[in-house]
Amino acid sequence: MIILAPHPSRTLNAIGLLVVCGILIAAYAFQFALDELPCPLCLLQRVALVGVGYGLCLNLIYGAKPHHYGIMLLSAIYGGSVSVRQILLHIVPGTGSYGSPVLGLHYYTWAGICFFLVILGTAVMLLFEGQYKKALVDKPEHGRFGGQPLAKLAFFLMLFLAAANVVTTFLECGPGICDDPPTDYKLIEELKSDG
Amino acid sequence: MQGKIENRCIPTLSLRSLRSWNWGPNMISLLFALLTIAIVLAWRDHWRLSYLVFAVTLAMSIYWLDFHATTPLSIKL
């Protein structure tokens, strides 16, 4: 059996979480730079990414456990299902697409690839049994996040991005069902029309 | 004086219109809010509650996927 100590496992999880944060930041960059509002299915894919991030956060706080990886797998399978739904929606020629292509592929296709890679990466991480052994668990003096600044940085960046998505999604959709496709930030327009 | 009263009324009007909206669990932003709460709960060592919030979020997400997978398409096939 392959042995991986908790410390390098936590570092790998922190790097994974930073990658997830990077994808969410890239989504924001395209949203604001190209003024392209995310559709409801795109938002659900972001929810799934935050779900994957939640599983990684648990690994950073409590150390790696199989059920944390399970949470990641559930979120990634959910996200992959939403991506596949959106890919299939536009797979028939003449049905158009949503958003600008990035390196020839649309956002939802990239999201599908990302979720597939998350499933693959999580399955590989589950092979390393040593990370779960109590004898190898971090010492108490290490404190939270195993005393790793990288893990702390990744965790708080994820927390910030999750909270930012609450705000931007609420601005876009308001308290009701999101428009499909969205045309503007519904809540801002509503407040403007009142003003 | 009157002008001042009108200025004060602007935020009140906005809040009134917000109250008239259909607030409820049918918000995608609620899913992000629940996940944020789950992360904070995990950080504060309330891991059982955190898992529960995640489970509720996942169930609501599945509802939303079903909703968007079964609503009539806006594109012509």
Domain ranges of chain A: 6-166
| Chain B residues near residue A89 by CB distance under 8 angstroms | 73, 75
What per-residue confidence (pLDDT) applies to B63? 87
Assign residue B18 a region: left if phi > 0, alpha if psi is -120 to 50, beta otherwise?
alpha
Is residue B18 domain-resident?
Answer: no
Quick one: pLDDT at residue A143?
67
This model of the complex carries an ipTM of 0.88
Does any domain span residue B62?
Answer: yes
Write the pLDDT tens digit of every residue in B17-69.
Answer: 555 555 555 578 899 999 999 999 999 989 899 999 999 999 999 988 888 77
The two tokens of residue B15 are 């809040």
- Domain A6-166: which CATH number of 2.60.40, 1.10.1740, 1.10.8, 1.20.1550: 1.20.1550
Give the Cα separation of A37 and A45 in Å (integer).
14
Distances (CA, A) of A79 to A47, A49, A106, A150: 8, 7, 15, 26
Closest CA to B57 of A170, A117, A28, A55: A55
Q: Which residue range is the domain that position B46 belongs to?
A: 24-72
Residues of chain B in contact with residue A165, where contact means CB-CB under 8 angstroms, are: 29, 32
**pLDDT classification of B9: cutoffs 50, 70, 90:** very low
Q: List, in sequence order, every residue forming a beta bridge with A102; answer none if it has no partner.
A: A105
- pLDDT confidence band for B70 (50 / 70 / 90): confident
User: For testing the chain A interface, which of B12, B27, B76 should be mutated: the one with the most A CBs within 10 Å?
Assistant: B27
pLDDT-flagged residues of chain A (< 50): 135
Please report the pLDDT score of residue A3 as a whole number.
Answer: 65
Q: Which residues of B touch A53 (CB under 8 A)?
A: 39
Place B2 in a pLDDT band, splitting at 50, 70 and 90.
Answer: very low
| Per-residue CA distances from A171 to A7, A167, A174, B28 (Å) | 40, 6, 6, 11
The confidence score (pLDDT) of residue B4 equals 42
Burial B40-59 (b: 16+ CB within 10 A, else e): bbbbeeeeeebbebbeebbe
pLDDT recorded at residue A188: 76
- Residue B13 covered by a domain: no
Specify the pLDDT at position A132.
78
- Number of separate domains in chain B: 1
